A and B are shown apart, each in its own frame.
Chain A
Amino acid sequence: MKTAAGRRLLLQVYTAAVFAFVFAPIVTIAVFSFNADRFPSLPWAGFSLIWYEAVFADATIARGLVNSLIVAAATAVISTFLGLCAAYVDYRYRFVGKTIYTALITLPPTIPVVILGLAMLTFEGRIGLTGTLSGVAAGHVVLCTPFALALVRLRLADLDPNLEAASWNLGASRWTTMRDVIVPFCFPAITAALFLTAAISFDEYMIAWFVSGLNETLPVRLLAMLQGQVSPRINAVGTMVFSVSIVLVVLAQLIIGRRLRVRASGTER
Chain B
Amino acid sequence: MLFYLAWGAPPLLWQLLFFVVPFGFLVAVTFWSVRNFRLTPDFIVANWQHILGAGFFRSAYAYTFALAALTALLASLIAFPAAYTLAFKVSPSVRRISIFLLVVPFFTSYPVRIYSWQIIFSPFGVINKLLGQISVGPINLLNTPWITILGYLTLTLPLVILLQTFALGNVDRTLIEAAKNLGCGPARAVITILIPAARVGLILAAAFTFVLAFGDYISPLLLGGSKPPTLSVLLADQVKSGNHWPRAAVIAVVMVVTLMAALVVMLGLAYGQLGRRRA
Q: A residues within 8 Å of B by Cβ?
A: 4, 7-8, 11-12, 14-15, 18-19, 21-26, 28-29, 32, 39-43, 78, 81-83, 85-86, 88-89, 93, 101, 104-105, 107-108, 110-116, 118-126, 138-139, 141-142, 145, 149, 174-175, 196, 199-200, 203, 205-206, 210, 219, 222-223, 226-227, 230, 234, 237-238, 241-242, 245-246, 248-250, 253, 257
Q: Is B168 in contact with chain A by the CB < 8 A criterion? A: no
Nearest B-chain residue to A147, judged by Cβ: B107
Contact A18 B82 (CB under 8 A): yes
CB distance from B216 to the nearest CB of A (A): 7
What is the distance, in angstroms, from B15's C-beta to the closest C-beta of chain A? 5
B233 to chain A, nearest CB (A): 9
Given contacts A116-B19, A226-B222, A242-B108, 4 further A-B contacts (CB under 8 A): A15-B86, A18-B161, A112-B216, A114-B217
Q: Is the CB of B22 within 8 A of A123?
A: yes
Give the nearest-CB partner of A9 in chain B: B89
Binds A, one of B52-60, B170-178, B195-203, B251-259: B251-259
Among residues of A, the one whose C-beta sits closest to the C-beta of B26 is: A119
Contacts of B186 in A (CB 8 A): 4, 7
Chain B contact residue count (CB 8 A cutoff):
83
Classify the interface of chain B: helix, strand, loop or mixed. helix
Residue of B nearest to A11 (CB): B85
B153 contact set on A, CB distance < 8 A: 21
Given A11-B81, A115-B252, A174-B3, A142 contacting B19 (CB threshold 8 A): yes
Q: Is A249 touching B103 in the complex (CB atoms < 8 A)?
A: yes
Of B7, B89, B214, B216, the residue contacting A11 (CB under 8 A) is: B89
B235: chain A residues at CB < 8 Å are: 114-115, 118
Main secondary structure of the interface of A (DSSP, over half): helix
The distance in angstroms between the C-alpha atoms of A105 and B86, with both chains bound, is 32
**A19 and B101 in contact (CB under 8 A), knowing A89-B7, A112-B211, A219-B109?**
yes
CA distance A141 to B232 in the complex (A): 22
Residues B236 and A114 in contact, CB atoms below 8 Å apart: yes
Chain A residues, Cβ within 8 Å of B90: 12, 15
Whether A14 and B215, one on each chain, are in contact in the complex, defined by CB atoms closer than 8 angstroms, is no
Q: State whether A14 and B18 are in contact (beta carbons under 8 Å apart), knowing that A105-B11, A206-B217 are contacts in the complex.
A: no
Q: How far is the CB of A104 from chain B (nearest CB, A)?
A: 5
* B residues 228-279 touching A (CB-CB < 8 Å): 232, 235-236, 239, 245, 248-249, 252, 255-256, 259, 263
The answer to whether A203 and B15 touch across the interface, beta carbons within 8 angstroms, is no
Question: Is B259 a contact partner of A112 (Cβ separation < 8 A)?
Answer: yes
Contact A8 B249 (CB under 8 A): no
Chain B residues with CB under 8 Å of A234's CB are 112, 115
CB distance from B51 to the nearest CB of A (A): 14
Q: Which residues of B contact A11 (CB under 8 A)?
A: 81, 84-85, 89
B85 touches A226 (CB 8 A): no
- Contact yes or no, B114 A142, CB < 8 A: no
Q: Chain B residues near A210 (CB, 8 Å)?
A: 239
Q: Is B169 an interface residue (CB 8 A)?
A: no
Given A18-B79, A25-B117, A210-B239, A223:B111 Cβ within 8 A:
yes
Structural contact, B120 and A25, CB atoms closer than 8 A: yes
Task: Verify B103–A104 contact, CB threshold 8 A.
Answer: no
Chain A residues contacting B154 (CB-CB under 8 Å) are 21-22, 25
Determine whether B8 belongs to the interface, using a CB cutoff of 8 Å to chain A. yes
